[in-house]
Chain A
């Protein structure tokens, strides 16, 4: 974004896309340095509106705004305060979870909700109400926000709290995909930890049914739980995978050599993936190879000590890994279905396999209780997340999967969503109208908008 810095307040026309590298559009990008500059940009927004953008990790189009303005929030990235005693952090919206973790860990503080990458901003984490492997215990990101500052369409900066006067607007902003205003600052509640390590139990399980049964059993004993499985292996080993569950390691559990520096943040980025891959890199052969390696790398083992990268963010060692899917990009299909509809997981995977999709790495988790936010994605049940490279037939296949998911009472995750219909979102989110009412009241002219909002008709 160095171009933006050079051109200053006028912004620069930039083609933007999401992490899936699909459906680009062009917008004027501004990089505000203060809440006042955000308010000025909001006031100056033209007829095609304005939206905030963080680190661009949403897969689809929620952080792009064709013909309008996009605020690059990474210019607002100060960590104002970390209160070790009370476990609080006051940060700007553009602070990444990575830099917050690096600053908080030396104080023995841990972010309770960490998604599959730390390269997301606090503002984005609130706007999408992200979740992590600890969801069954701690819920989603919005549950840990004590207050947030929101620049609304009228140019005011409002401080919102979950139970205060503006509680409705607070919860419409959590998971509100940036459509209520621009979050500029937040106070977050952090957890106290003794070490930066996990004690990890890994179980190799050789079919999907058993994997799901095992995961249903003991999750309450663990702070973190997720399984990875492949859908390349067919027959009775269909859905074989790894169930990994963990708790934060106490000081006493660490081996001696790690005790010297128990809060060390061990998160190397080993490489940046170059932009050289042709479409179709992921095929039956490479998919099979990858799933084999992934499965074999982790035999069943209990009580292993792992650092944050090993356990939480294995993909963060490779920067820009989305380039591996080639120029046509990919989509991530993530949905949740009620606990009694675990059968949908198998149905969806079988449909994908039958359609010739190679899904080498699928992430499965059981969610705990949902949030108060009307558009929050998590709800009790199973959530599955699969990567699908863009190619012939992918559109109709996903439309078919939508039907299966929605018929089971499920829904899609807006932070991953890039191709469904307005009707599908309406069906999946029965509280959409409740959210819209709050949104329309605070932004009657529809100043805040995005490609996603237009595509899915999120606002009226």
Chain B
């Protein structure tokens, strides 16, 4: 049943005091008081966070590094306390912030299962009942009497996870713990996770992996520098994260990483990156996202427009504008130009603009480099900017490989 509120966060603020000089001893505090007040900076990690998680919902918390995701998760887990505002939890919380907390390397795997189980809130009886299952799941049956320190780190993580998932949580908090273990174990974890989803457990999930958030979470919370940007439907929120709609600050940040026409002067390899006789000069190249904003990050499957501004110095009637897309490993993925597509360009003197609309970025993910060139029909370069512009494509699906090929199964 959905509908009941299980996590209610209201006007939540969290600030940390960052003293200029950390005082840890009584002596320092006593002597410090003679020299007046201790100086510290107030760092506000979370500002005015408001959201409600209902029973059975899976909520992803996304945001850049340092945006306060983990702090928020720790507050939900009751490890940190809010500075202002309130948080109400209805149900038993099981935090998976780190696996294997409290493991004692000198005790055996078996003893550690009992200790770790107790830390995660299991009673001895429950562990007794599930002991076989835990060993089965972790695949460590023959090592149960080995000292923990003699197990590999991967085995330890498996043991921890196998124990932790036995807790039968009502509310599960996860901080990117799925990213451990080998492929087989990861698959097991995903299965457990999906089982939880099926059982309609409430899950709060912090991740940088937008794809898994999209896959598992029905709702998402976007944080940026401690502020709540948006909370709602996952796909909308991820769009907001990727394209940063309606946020000027983010664009200001992006300007620094904007491709520079001059090319990288400090490049040691000193590859020739720009050439041509300058009859035409390319002034600016921009990537435009589906919200008509300049951007360099795109979801796979979304449209992208390449806007090229150029200046014609000598009137030309055979001007061809072309682009080529290279993968990060320098494989040319695609190239086209106005001549191939029989598009008549404007070769009159002065500033001109031309746009290439890509309906659908079919690459699955990765970093791509764009070459933009102006040349004659006979391929005499006027201005050639080789791999000067970079954009990123973010995964949006689970298909493997380089490109999404539109397809469907039939039987």
A in complex with B: no
